[in-house]
Amino acid sequence: MRIGRRGPAAAAVTVELSVVIVNWNGGGLLRRCLACIVQHAPLVPYEVIVVDNASTDASVAWLHSEEAHALLGETPLRVIENQENRGFSQANNQAITLSNAPLLFLLNPDTEVRPKAIDTLIAGLQSARTIGACGPRLVNPDGSLQPSVWHNPPAAWEILLSGLKIYRLLPPRLRGRLLLGPHWDHAQRRKVPRLSGAALMVKRRVVEQVGGLDERFHMYGEDAEWCARMIRDGWVLLHEPEAVVVHHGSQSSIRRWGNAETLRRIIDGQLRFQSYFLPRRRLLINVLASATVSGLAHLRRSARGQSTDETGIALELYRKYLKYALGMTAREKLMAEKISEEATQS
């Protein structure tokens, strides 16, 4: 690991906000992300910390280039260069440890902050002592909503209501209030159960109390686990719709693993979180509900002659977690976790 600094104020100014970006072959998206931060910079003193997870493109070279220097101007930049891909959780924790700022803004390299988004998040975060984290309204590049608020962890009734499309029987307003996610327009400023790690502002006091991201998660599931830990320790999570961030979504993952493997890791991350956080009985009920939804979808797609690759991946993972929920021994659990962790490093 190598840590570099750039900018005359990098060591001298006491910053109030550290913008943390974990990068892996971000290329043009990383450049656009940094350009938007500078263009729509917060009013408070801030710095940018980029943790590079052994990129093989020109990301690191560009960060040290005159072009980057001209783009960032007086903005302090610190670059952590990892010699291996340490994953999302560990890389963010490296930056959190390096920073002394009272506010931390975890931001994916495939995001673009819109005007006043950072200041609006800061205001939301500081509007009450109990608010520990604040998240923006995420949108896709075409401006459409990208759901970023969910129940955490989901309940079996929610899985069945959404997966079997029973929600169609409910009035839209009630549906949104009950199910969140894609059923809710994300237009209301409110306390929520979970925020997305793609753009998440957190008070340092929260990290000091609950700890950083769980490094058992290489990528996916870590934001759900972190949010659940914050709420369990008494903190409030706030969704702030007036702060808007564009998120291109899963760009690095798809380049690294492809669509099928990315889907596998997303589902596995969520199930791992539930296996760590939920009592075994509730985990069993949730996995059974998810398996029912995926099983029916698998049969339907098969009967229509459609691809069953995605449903097949989901069913394979549900079988794995059903085995654990039905009575996997402690030794078997440790072995399964070791296999899963080794797989994430590949």
Under DSSP, the state recorded for 145 is: B
Q: Which of 109-113, 176-180, 241-245, 331-335 has the lowest mean pLDDT?
A: 331-335
Please state, in angstroms and rounded to a whole number, the distance separating the CA atoms of residues 103 and 105.
7
Q: What's the pLDDT tens digit per position in 196-222?
A: 999 999 999 999 999 999 999 988 999
Provide the residue ranges of all domains of the chain, joining segments of one domain with +.
2-149+186-249, 258-344
The token pair that represents 299 in the structure block? 């049969």
Q: Is the pLDDT of residue 105 over 70?
A: yes
**More confident: 161 or 337:** 161
The pLDDT of residue 333 is above 70: no
**Cα-based distances in Å from 194 to 37, 56, 225:** 24, 33, 9
- Report whether CATH 3.30.565.10 matches the domain 2-149+186-249: no
Q: What is the DSSP letter of 114?
A: P
β-bridge mates for residue 297, sequence order = none
Task: Quote the longest CA-to-CA distance of the chain.
Answer: 66
- Alpha carbon separation from 283 to 213, 290, 318, 338 (Å, rounded): 22, 11, 11, 20
- 124 within 8 A of 240, measured Cβ to Cβ: yes
**Considering only 1-5, 99-103, 293-297, 341-345, which range has the smallest mean pLDDT?**
341-345
340: pLDDT strictly greater than 60: no
Distance from the Cα of residue 31 to its chain's centroid: 20
State pLDDT tens for residues 127-146. Answer: 999 999 999 999 999 999 99
pLDDT computed for residue 262 by the predictor: 86
E strands along 54-118, which residues? 77-82, 103-107, 111-113
Q: What is the pTM of this model?
A: 0.89
Torsion of CA 342, 289, 157, 247, to 10 degrees: 40
**Which residues are registered as beta bridge partners of 51?**
22, 80
Share the mean pLDDT of the chain: 91
Residue 332: pLDDT band with limits 50, 70, 90: low
Rounded CA separation 3/274 (Å)? 35
Counting other chains too, the contacts that 125-129 makes at CB distance below 8 Å and 24 or more residues apart are: 125/201, 125/202, 125/203, 125/238, 127/238, 128/236
Q: Let me know how long the chain is.
A: 346
pLDDT at 219: 86
